[in-house]
Amino acid sequence: MIHIKNNVFTLHTQRTTYQMKADAHGVLLHTYYGARTGNDDLSHLIQLVDRGFSPNPSEVGHYRNYSLDTLPQEYSTCGVGDYRMPAIVAQNTDGSHLVDLRFQGFAVHSGKYALEGLPAFYGTADDADTLTVTLQDPTTHLTVELYYGVFAEIRLLRASSVCLDFPQDNLDFMTFDGRHTMERELNRTPLRPGVQQIGSVRGTSSHQHNPFVMLCEHNADETHGLCFGAALVYSGGFEAAVESNPFHDARFTVGISAHHFCWTLEPGAAFTTPEAALICSPDGFTAMSHRWHRAIRTHLCRDPYKGRRRPLLVNNWEATLFHFDAEKLVEIARAAAPLGIDMLVMDDGWFGTRSSDLGGLGDWTVNEEKLPGGLAALVPRIQALGMDFGIWVEPEMVSEDSNLYRAHPDWAFHAPNRSPSRGRSQLVLDFTRQDVRDFIYDTFCKILRSADIRYLKWDFNRSLSDVWSAAIPPERQGEVYHRYILGLYEVLERFRQDFPDLLIEGCSGGGGRFDAGMLYYTPQIWCSDNTDAIDRLRIHYGTSFCYPVSSMGSHVSAVPNEQTGRTTPLETRGVVAMSGAFGYELDLSQATEEERATMARQNAEYQKYYDLIHTGDYYRLTNPFENERYTAWAHVSPDKREALISVVTGTAHSALPSLTLRLRGLDESLRYQVNGGSSFWGSTLMHAGYPIPAMQGDYRSIQLHVVAE
């Protein structure tokens, strides 16, 4: 998968090629990334020309055609003649900001590299190789090692975190943006001269922008066109930018946000950047998404839940908010068990004096007025009904009205002599501190060992602000944002190692920390605090470009919906939530017999189609941002012999034309039976289509089960 000759490094995956070359001056040139080629030296594509106001390195003398400002580089520097976005900036001991990296050497070994303290895709000697390229500044001896992990199905890089130079700028920049309760809405815009950038300065990957972005040809769509996707395996502040210069070249970078970032690098020390994963697809968005989904499921999410069935659960939050006790929880569980639900999750309000979001966070002791006898008494009652038990926690937060804060006010982020800003009436614990991390770990170990708890919902309900650590000297406060994330990863890894069978679901007000970094520790993430089925169509659509269905926490909630006030049929809420880690977010004890029968049927169908939904290939059949009449998607088994197609309509109107849906992903040469009835050739279903019966009313749904004969 890695071919090296004359300092030309060619990395092949099954479908793509990535190449760089160390030239005669030691500059590491980026020569190609795209559809698979041979092992030719592609530096012939680089034309050396004299462009005005582009200076030349001293070693080329008066030769004016060689300039760092015009060359495509693998890892761009600063202050030495390249005026585009740098991949690295450093302040030297003499006060200068010059960095001039030159090729020093390389190494190759079998298997996929790992990053100390950071999540990363993983692989063995059987399915991955690693190339390490070393660069060094000849004056300061600052050394940078670039790691490239190559799998048969995906391209994985780790640089700063990645810098890609494209020989053309006739591309579109695709980002996934939004806000709390409406995350990851697709935005697509052509590149224009200058810099286009998205990112987060919130200390998390954020609701506002996701650290997955794409570049694609103008005509690229689901089935055609060249596209590149990049995902930063990181859960903190980030920036992703693309710059188009006057010569119609494009430079793309992604990495840790530069906002308040300043890392002191001691002599002999090293700084490791997060991993960036890249996938190139010459065949449009769907093929790219399939590769992302497989890579995340098999090389990022870890045991035991990357292959094990997730529990079908009910969470009591929207049913009770803070107002519950043990009897109410048992009542909900008693109503859930006959419906085929596997687990009850107890949400916020079970600990300390917590009765609202104004206080109590940090005092993680069971409130025995609500739960007499504690978890040791409650959990067996739930298990006696045939269900497992899980809890909600928010370990990274503290309320000022708490015993923890009164004892350790320096454990929370806030600057000296300033009143801190609050989010949801809470402050953020300083996870850069080992004493804080040890306290959190020991506290929750005690809770987890007090009863048979199978699931943890790990929430984070605010952005970082007032970021100042009492444990770090003033001159190194620029390290706090990143050290916070490293501390979070350390704690999650300890739980991962010591409680290997515990299912942890990530959450940050829903989708505020939905990223590849968290998926390394938590195989599923609450997709959004917005449980409205129609809004979720858009949220799931954008999320699916990178992240697999198995990673999306998705529940049926009550109507009118808490976030939108919209009323949708229970059947439709089930169809939408079924395309994810399925569950319920309502008071099942108040359900009617008709509703209970519908839920029992939904749950049985979800279990029947579980493997198809979670491991099949996902197809976006419509774009809900463009098609308001209906939204359709499909799950297709890897062998193409089975598919589940889901359709949800919009608002009803009179005398609408009939609807015919063209399926995708089937085998043209096979005949398929639809919902146990008529059969058709795969070519017929994909090219001619299948008629969707008319459905009266708003927000109706239908599912088609298609099986090869």
Secondary structure string (H, E, C) spanning 37-65:
CCCCCHHHHCCCCCCCCCCCCHHHCCCCC
Residue type at 619 in one-letter notation: Y
Which one-letter DSSP state was computed for residue 523? S
Kind plus residue range of the DSSP H or E element containing 286: helix 285-299
Question: For residues 283 and 152, what is the distance between their CA atoms, to the nearest angstrom?
Answer: 17
SS3 683: helix
Question: For residues 283 and 220, what is the distance between their CA atoms, to the nearest angstrom?
Answer: 8
* In contact, 136 and 104? CB cutoff 8 Å: yes
Query: Which runs of consecutive H residues, i.e. helices, occur in 89-226?
Result: none
Residue of 169, 347, 515, 535 marked active site: 515
SS3 30: strand
User: Phi and psi at residue 644, in whole multiples of 5°?
Assistant: -125, 115
Closest CA relative to residue 51, chosen from 245, 276, 299, 319: 245
Question: For residues 205 and 416, what is the distance between their CA atoms, to the nearest angstrom?
Answer: 27
Catalytic site includes residue 169: no
Closest CA relative to residue 14, chosen from 176, 168, 211, 153: 153
Secondary structure string (H, E, C) spanning 188-217:
EEECCEEEEEEEECCCCCCCCECCEEEEEE
Secondary-structure breakdown of the chain: helix, strand, coil percentages, each rounded to the nearest 5: 20, 30, 50
Q: What does the angle CA 353 – CA 359 – CA 365 come to, to the nearest 5 degrees?
A: 40
What burial class does residue 443 get, using C-beta atoms within 10 Å of its C-beta: 0-12 exposed, 13-18 middle, 19+ buried? middle
278 HSE (CA, 13 A, CB side): 30
* Residue whose structure tokens are 């309900």: 461
Pairing of the two strands 455-458 and 503-506: parallel
Token digits of residue 217 = 């040809």
Residue type at 83 in one-letter notation: Y
- Other beta carbons within 10 angstroms of residue 370's beta carbon come to 21
Which one-letter DSSP state was computed for residue 550? G
Residue of 249, 595, 605, 698 marked active site: 595
Beta strand extents in 521-670 (DSSP E only): 524-526, 552-557, 581-585, 617-620, 630-636, 642-649, 659-661
Closest CA relative to residue 240, chosen from 23, 515, 428, 19: 515
Catalytic site includes residue 74: no
Work out the end-to-end distance of the chain between its first and last CA atoms, rounded to an integer number of angstroms. Answer: 39
* In contact, 414 and 378? CB cutoff 8 Å: no
**Residue 110: which residues within 8 A CB-CB, separation 6 or more?**
125, 128, 129, 130
Token digits of residue 684 = 């017929």
Residues labelled as active-site residues: 515, 595
